[in-house]
Amino acid sequence: MSVLLENLGKRFEAGDAVLDGVNARIGRGEFVALLGASGCGKSTLLNIIASLDEPSSGALEVPADGAALMFQDPALYPWLTARGNVELALKLRGVGKAARRARAAELLDLVHLGGAGDKRPHELSGGMRQRVALARALSQDRQLLLMDEPFAALDAITRDLLHEELERIWRETGRTIVFVTHNVREAVRLGQRVLLLSSRPGRVVREWAVPAEVRADAAAAAALTGEITARLREEIRRHGK
């Protein structure tokens, strides 16, 4: 087991509960998509799994080496090259100069940016910057990768291309991935399972398995996307009330 959440709750001071009774099991090497209405606590849950925040109640188990976290904003250092941004993450882990240069080159090759290592962020497209951010997250060498709407700001074509790249990298590296998104089609396209959080306070209210044959069949994927979308709309309407 890579992640185990048991009756997890989170309440901020002088406020209502954000999360309440979250239960989930995520196996090693699994790709799980997390959906929910805006404000339901998806990012808060990700921060707790990443040990950036503490739960108010319940218990969780995560890998001993923690998790790497990737956000919607690539947040690259503009004065460093693509290679330099990845190398910096390796340097912070104590990797020696020669080793980190070689590893950064390997990771940029993995995200298909081997020829762009000397370019600075302003010279890269939005999709390329997110690939650098992904290489940087992978450089942390954590089994668990948490992704908080990493492709939300990208155009549809670039997003589809990065879906293919992420799926390839997931299969090649064997990482466990928890992927937060508002996009139901994206969740079905990528996740082996889709978990739906209720409106605040967030808890897992539905779960769908997405077999490989469903992802490969456009009609089956569309049908499942429609089913999940209808259930998500129910949660959004409930939140509106």
> Where are the domains positioned within the chain?
3-66+142-240, 77-141
Sequence-distant contacts of 152-157: CB under 8 A, at least 24 apart:
152/72, 152/181, 152/182, 152/183, 153/72, 153/73, 153/126, 154/126, 154/127, 154/130, 155/126
Could you give the CA distance from residue 199 to residue 39 in angstroms, rounded to a whole number? 7
What pLDDT shows up at residue 40?
A: 84
What pLDDT shows up at residue 2?
A: 85
Predicted TM-score (pTM) of this structure? 0.93
Residues 103-135: tens digit of each pLDDT: 999 999 999 999 999 999 999 999 999 999 999
Determine the CATH number of domain 3-66+142-240: 3.40.50.300
